Amino acid sequence: HRISDRAINYLRNQFAGPFVLVVSYDEPHHPFTCPPAYAEKFQNYEYPVGPGAYDTLDNKPAHHREWAESAEVQLENGRVVDPLYFGCNSFVDAEIGRVIDAVHQYADDGSGDRYSCLENTFIIFTSDHGEMLGAHRITGKGPAMYEEIAHIPLIVEGPVGANAGTANPTLVSHIDLLPTMLELAGIEVPPIMQGQSLVPILHGKEDLDKCVVIEFERYEIEHDSWGGFQPVRCILSENYKLVINLLHTDELYDLEADPAEINNLIDHPDTVEVRNRMHDQLLKWMYEKRDPFRGPVWERRPWRETKRLQWRGKFRPRPADGY
């Protein structure tokens, strides 16, 4: 609420002309604090977790099973009751509405017409992760790439009439947002950036061959949670998801046939070709994008041995990027 007030005050009093406003909420996040009225609406709401509620975690990474043991999830008939979580989501939704209303009410592009800027204003809504809510017997978020925490909302509201209400199936990532904003603002996109501008996608273009890479490695002084150092790399492509858990069992899921990600196909003979092709894509990405943890260890998996990276490769200084 305080963050929304600051954003609204800025829109009302402090800016003139083109602007970028970032409104970043911590909620919805544990402990899911919200006004009681929001939580009370969900006191008796039973959320169906889906098939993931019954995952035995057989043939899954060891740290998933350890995580599940620690979480001690108790679901009744595959459903979870969590009024604070859903109430906090509803609370944030209302707060976002307050800010968007203020954009419509107060935004001024310098012409004196407070509604003229809406003809050239983009509103981007996204989040940094989701919530497991008991799926796969785990809670919160952490070193896993399940859809519940990795497949998050991205909604872009552009000027009126610009592909309004159109869903695009192209895979995209957070790293695509900054290049997109730069292009929308008419600013050159530095070549050092890893992402790609989504402007063509906002205009309706689809790129079904695009892949997305996700990474995780949490290690820090303050936290004793999430199993310590768990380096993970993931690539999505062709309706498949390949997850390399550097210290544990790897994963491969057919998201079309198994959207709940129950059946780990990493050793299945029918998926060897797609698995190896995606593995090559991932290694190529890590090398080209200068993943600081890149190295032969990501190649030496129990199910494959390749010869791409070398112990002593060439020196690769940072390329010129204009800065």
Residues 113-170 have pLDDT tens digits of: 544 456 678 899 999 999 999 999 999 999 999 999 999 999 998 875 556 678 888 9
The pLDDT-based confidence of 323 (bands split at 50, 70, 90) is low
**Residue 39, amino acid:** A
pTM of the model: 0.91
- Check residue 95 and give its pLDDT: 97
Residues 6 or more apart in contact with residue 189 via CB below 8 angstroms: 179, 182, 183, 197
Cis peptide before 31 (omega within 30 of 0): yes
Residues counted in the chain? 323
Give me the percent of the chain exceeding a pLDDT of 70.
90
Q: Residue written as tokens 């260890």?
A: 297
CA atoms 54, 140, 286, 184: torsion sign: positive
Tens-place pLDDT, residues 193-245: 889 999 999 888 999 889 999 999 876 677 676 678 889 999 999 899 999 99
Torsion of CA 101, 102, 105, 108, to 10 degrees: -140
Give the containing element (helix H, strand E) for 80: strand 79-80
- Check residue 115 and give its pLDDT: 45
Residue 8 φ then ψ, to 5°: -65, -40
Give the containing element (helix H, strand E) for 252: strand 251-254
In terms of average pLDDT, the best of 82-86, 105-109, 163-167, 185-189 is: 82-86
- Check residue 134 and give its pLDDT: 95
With left for phi above 0 and alpha for psi between -120 and 50, is residue 213 left, alpha or beta? beta
